[in-house]
Amino acid sequence: MWSLTKFVASRLSRSRRFFSSVIPRPCIIQKRGADILHDPWINKDTGFPLTERNRLGLRGLLPPRVISFEQQYARFMESYRSLEKNTVSESDTSHVALAKWRILNRLHDRNETLYFRVLIDNIKDFAPIIYTQTVGLVCQNYSGLFRRPRGMYFSAKDKGEMMSMIYNWPAQMVDMIVLTDGSRILGLGDLGVHGIGIPIGKLDMYVAGAGLNPQRILPVMLDVGTNNLKLIEDPLYLGLRQPRLEGEEYLSTIDEFIEAVLTRWPKAIVKFEDFQMKWAFETLKRYRERFCMFNDDIQGTAGVALAGLLGTVRAQGRSLDDFPNQKIVVVGAGSAGLGVLSMAVQAGVRMTGNAETAAQKFFLLDKDGLITKERKNLDPAAVPFAKDPGLIAGLRDGGSLLEVVKKVKPDVLLGLSGVGGVFNEEVLKALRESGSNRPAIFAMSNPTMNAECTAVEAFKHAGENIVFASGSPFENVQLGNGKVGYVNQANNMYLFPGIGLGALLSGACIITNDMLQAAAECLASYMTDQDIEKGILYPSINSIRDITAKVGASVVRAAVAEEVAEGYGKVDPEELAYMSKEETVEYVRRNMWYPNYSPLVQKK
Ligand SMILES: NC(=O)c1ccc[n+]([C@@H]2O[C@H](COP(=O)([O-])OP(=O)(O)OC[C@H]3O[C@@H](n4cnc5c(N)ncnc54)[C@H](O)[C@@H]3O)[C@@H](O)[C@H]2O)c1
Ligand SMILES: O=C(O)C[C@H](O)C(=O)O
Ligand SMILES: [Mg+2]
């Protein structure tokens, strides 16, 4: 029972926590001298004050002048901006993007505090470089760019050794692991060990967007081989040059890794990222009831898309209850497309109470065209969305996207196919004729070249009245006469930070559908009617910490309501349950790490 004494004690302990987060906490270290300068977690470069230089054996190892954090920051930004200015006329955009990534990565390797501060303050400019889209290019060129390892690598050759290997990670605690096997990196296919760039980029977004402590995150590559022949034949390829493990061999390798992780850090959250569809679904089914994990491509994407679809209904001037009447054509029946449809159906069922009709207005296509009940060898996950061919006259199994758009006359066209340009001029013009008062286009495939269409193409061919969202960033489109076609970035980056932080701070033992649903609904309700009328479905990424505080709090509250919250640190589930909505947001906000130089104290 919740007692008054406990209540007062909890308030006191909360205020103690509050004060301790304002006064910089000392960081206890065991290193000394040059070792400190080579450790990006604690290095301050020329920012070490003289007292610390004396105490830590740094005197003489640095130029004599002490440069303040603000000066270091300004100096970095100046060199970054001058690179930008000097390359503005270069036609090779990928060369410029990689140069920008390199300059940020060098800082990341040297001084994490400064790196994360510049990232947080300039997230809108830097997210497209350290995350989607440049991260795709980085993965494609990984062997050439590799200088210094980051994260951990477990391979098929490490079977039997993973339990001891996990103890090689230098940090005592890990809160969040992002794991990939490199088999479906963005829309770029199997990139093998080069896919490590994705967990690194995602975790950078966790630190910037959710305030996870960078000393408690771990990017992991599970190298089970690659089926990309070009990589296997490349003598400089850094991964295993063998075909991917399959079947039981594959699953037992993942099992071994998971067991090792949970033995060392039983409360770590594991986010699965960019696994090919069969393993994405299989591992989610295998693990989701056993420990705190989620699949970002299936579940994070679904929440962001659902928030955008609900925003679209509002942008069309309809009531939210009208959502189940939206005709939605989804192109791509993979992990992301099926994840989106499943969550949209769950939302429809909640609104109508009718499971039979909830999927009726949703149409699904894969590389072989429209999926109907006549489809042979249909993946079980796609079965609920297979249409009766007689539903609309002229619809047939394998029907092309153009045929489907002409016959169905959808309100929404949503692409998660990984194929650039499939929303071509004809398709977009057919959507314009659909009769929807404000059709929406979600070209969600990444990176930019894999987007189903560009923003300019969408506004040009489907009309100026559309709502547009893409997975990778595009500039807003100038429509003439001062009118602007707004571009939204429908990317799971809006939700995974909040899902992860909410799971961590509630101490959830698993991540439930209700927690994911709460996250999506929170994001959907973030936007004002004025923004939505303009076609703005998602907030600016500049507000990512505020979004994450609210999303994270809704995840915490859902975890408590479902009784899967076990508490975090000294905050027990009862205390979580007692918090009001606002207090929960405050609790999440207060637990976000923020980059400041801490006084370093050497352990004797
Ligand atoms: N914006 C986001 O937040 C987000 C999130 C997850 C995935 N994605 C992107 O979505 C894409 C797909 O990811 P996934 O995990 O579902 O991949 P997947 O490989 O599991 O599925 C791809 C699907 O597209 C279908 N397809 C291929 N060519 C097609 C064509 N010409 N027409 C219609 N369908 C076609 C395939 O049959 C398959 O069903 C990737 O580009 C990925 O980057 C974006
Ligand atoms: O990585 C992204 O930008 C989103 C998504 O997880 C993807 O796989 O494309
Ligand atoms: Mg992904």
User: Which residues on adjacent β-strands are paired with residue 272?
Assistant: 179, 295
| Burial of 14: CB neighbours in 10 Å, binned 0-12, 13-18, 19+ | middle
Q: In 3-state terms, the chain is what percent helix, strand and coil (to 5)?
A: 50, 10, 40
174, 267 Cβ separation under 8 angstroms: no
Q: Is 489 in the pocket of ligand 2 (CB under 6 A)?
A: no
Query: Where is the binding site for (S)-malate, in residues?
Result: 184, 446, 491
Beta-strand relationship, 467-470 and 369-370: unpaired
Predicted local confidence at residue 19, as pLDDT: 47
The span from the CA of 260 to the CA of 152, in Å, is 13
Q: Is the model's pLDDT at 6 over the cut of 90?
A: no
Q: Is the model's pLDDT at 5 over the cut of 60?
A: no
Q: Is the model's pLDDT at 20 over the cut of 70?
A: no
At 89, is the pLDDT very low, low, confident or very high (cuts 50, 70, 90)? confident
Domains 150-291 and 300-490 in one fold: yes
Over residues 196-232, the pLDDT tens digits come to: 999 999 999 999 999 999 999 999 999 999 999 999 9
Q: Is the model's pLDDT at 8 over the cut of 60?
A: no
Among all residues, which ones are annotated catalytic? 131, 202
Q: Comparing 17 with 486, which gets the higher pLDDT?
A: 486
In the β-sheet with 217-223, what is the strand arrangement from edge to edge? 152-155, 217-223, 176-180, 269-272, 293-295
Q: What is the identity of the amino acid at 476?
A: N
**CA of 414 relative to ligand 1 center, distance in Å:** 11
Predicted local confidence at residue 23, as pLDDT: 67
**CA of 557 relative to ligand 1 center, distance in Å:** 32
Query: Where is the binding site for a divalent metal cation, in residues?
Result: 273-274, 297
Give, to the nearest 10 degrees, the angle between helix 197-210 and helix 112-121.
70
CATH number 3.40.50.10380 given to 150-291: yes
Q: Is 492 in the pocket of ligand 2 (CB under 6 A)?
A: yes
The span from the CA of 50 to the CA of 42, in Å, is 16
Q: Is 334 in the pocket of ligand 1 (CB under 6 A)?
A: yes
The residue whose C-alpha atom lies closest to atom 32 belonging to ligand 1 is 367
Average pLDDT, the chain: 95
User: Which residues on adjacent β-strands are paired with residue 601?
Assistant: 28
Q: Chain centroid to CA 70: how far?
A: 30
The residue whose C-alpha atom lies closest to atom 8 belonging to ligand 2 is 186
Q: DSSP string spanning 412-469?
A: EEEE-SS-TT-S-HHHHHHHHTT--SS-EEEE--SSGGGSSS-HHHHHHHH-TT-EEE
Mutate to test the pocket of ligand 1, among 178, 446, 468 (most ligand atoms within 8 A of CB): 446
The residue whose C-alpha atom lies closest to atom 44 belonging to ligand 1 is 445
The closest-lying atom of ligand 1 relative to the alpha carbon of residue 304 is 3
Q: DSSP string spanning 332-357?
A: --SHHHHHHHHHHHHHHHHHHS-TTT
Predicted local confidence at residue 389, as pLDDT: 85
Which residue in this structure is represented by tokens 């004729």? 433
Q: Is the model's pLDDT at 428 over the cut of 90?
A: yes
* Segment among 39-53, 85-99, 102-116, 255-269 with least mean pLDDT: 85-99
The span from the CA of 273 to the CA of 198, in Å, is 8
Percent of all residues in the chain with a pLDDT value above 90, rounded to a whole number? 91
At 22, is the pLDDT very low, low, confident or very high (cuts 50, 70, 90)? low
Token pair listed for 379: 């993946």
| Strand intervals (E) in 143-252 | 152-155, 176-180, 217-223
351, 323 Cβ separation under 8 angstroms: yes
**CA of 87 relative to ligand 3 center, distance in Å:** 30
Task: Kindly identify the ligand whose nearest atom is closest to the C-alpha of 184.
Answer: 1
**Length of the chain counted residue by residue:** 604
* Segment among 93-97, 155-159, 560-564 with least mean pLDDT: 93-97
Q: Is the model's pLDDT at 391 over the cut of 50?
A: yes
For the chain, what are the domain ranges? Answer: 150-291, 300-490, 495-592
| Burial of 511: CB neighbours in 10 Å, binned 0-12, 13-18, 19+ | buried
The residue whose C-alpha atom lies closest to atom 3 belonging to ligand 1 is 491
pTM for the model:
0.95
User: What CATH number does the domain located at 300-490 have?
Assistant: 3.40.50.720
Contacts of 295 (CB under 8 A, 6+ apart): 271, 272, 273, 275, 280, 283, 284, 335, 339
Q: Helical H runs in 525-596?
A: 529-534, 544-561, 573-578, 581-590
